[in-house]
Amino acid sequence: MGDIDITKMFLNFCLDDTLHQHCGVDFCPYFDSTSDRAHTQLEHGVRCMMGLKVSLCLTIKALLLGLEWILGITKDPTNVFYWTRVQLNLPGESNYDP
């Protein structure tokens, strides 16, 4: 069995550079307007985050590219992920072996 839980790994993937300015937190209301730091208290997000629609697309794309890179060329006999046949072991079959 396998579980690819994308939601817990959003922070492993970088957000596209063009979206940095649109994702972040504005801390300006929490500082005195006369303070020199008042206009510089905007923190930008640089990682994918929950609730951002593009995060799912970017995360899955990066995950699949990484998986393709890790597996390599599966038709190459020298690759450790090379296979010549697939044997199914499914519940409900007469030869099922848990």
Q: How far is 45 from 20, CA to CA, in rounded Å? A: 6
Residue count of the chain, please give it: 98
Helix (H, G, I), strand (E, B) or coil at 1: coil
| Mean pLDDT of the region 24-46 | 68
Q: How far is 50 from 7, CA to CA, in rounded Å? A: 7
Residue 39 above 60 pLDDT? Answer: no
Write down the pLDDT at residue 6: 57
Mean pLDDT of the chain: 77
- Please name the residues in contact with 39: beta carbons below 8 A apart, sequence gap of 6 or more: 28
Using CB atoms within 10 Å of the CB of residue 46, give its burial: 0 to 12 exposed, 13 to 18 middle, 19+ buried. Answer: middle
| Mean pLDDT of the region 21-32 | 74
